[in-house]
Amino acid sequence: MSLLITNAHLISPDVDEKNCAILLDGKKIAKVFKAGEALPKADKSFDAAGKMVMPGFIDVHIHGGMGYETTSGKPEAMNAIAEGKLKEGVTSFCPTTLTLSQEQLSKSLVLIEEYRKNAKYTKVLGVHLEGPYLNRECLGAQNPAFIRMPNIGEVKELNSISPVSIVTYALDVEGCIEFTKALVAAGIKPSCGHTNATYAQFMAGKKEGLARLTHFCNQMTKLHHREIGLVGAGLIDDDVAVEMICDKIHLCPDMISLAFKVKPINKILLITDAMEAAGLPDGDYQLGGLAVVVKDGAARLKTSNALAGSTLQLNVALKNVYEVTGLPLKDLVKTTSYNQACDLGIKDLGKIEAGFIADIVVLNDDFSTNAVFIDGALKYKA
Question: Mind telling me the catalytic residues?
Answer: 273
- Distance between CA atoms of 87 and 369, rounded to whole angstroms? 6
Residues recorded for the chain: 382
- Distance between CA atoms of 374 and 121, rounded to whole angstroms? 8
- Distance between CA atoms of 259 and 270, rounded to whole angstroms? 12
The three-state DSSP-derived secondary structure of the chain is CEEEEEEEEEEECCEEEEEEEEEEECCEEEEEECCCCCCCCCCEEEECCCCEEEECEEEEEECEECCEECCCCCCCHHHHHHHHHHCCCEEEEEEECCCCCHHHHHHHHHHHHHHHHCCCCCEECCEEEECCCCCHHHCCCCCHHHCCCCCHHHHHHHHHHCCEEEEEECCCCCCHHHHHHHHHHCCCEEEECCECCCHHHHHHHHHCCCCEECCCCCCECCCECCECHHHHHHHHCCCCEEEEECCCCCCCHHHHHHHHHHCCHHHEEEECCECCCCCCCCEEEEECCEEEEEECCEEEECCCCCECCECCCHHHHHHHHHHHHCCCHHHHHHHHCHHHHHHCCCCCCCCCCCCCECCEEEECCCCCEEEEEECCEEEEEC
Cβ-based neighbours of 200, under 8 Å, separated by 6 or more: none
First to last CA, the chain: 23
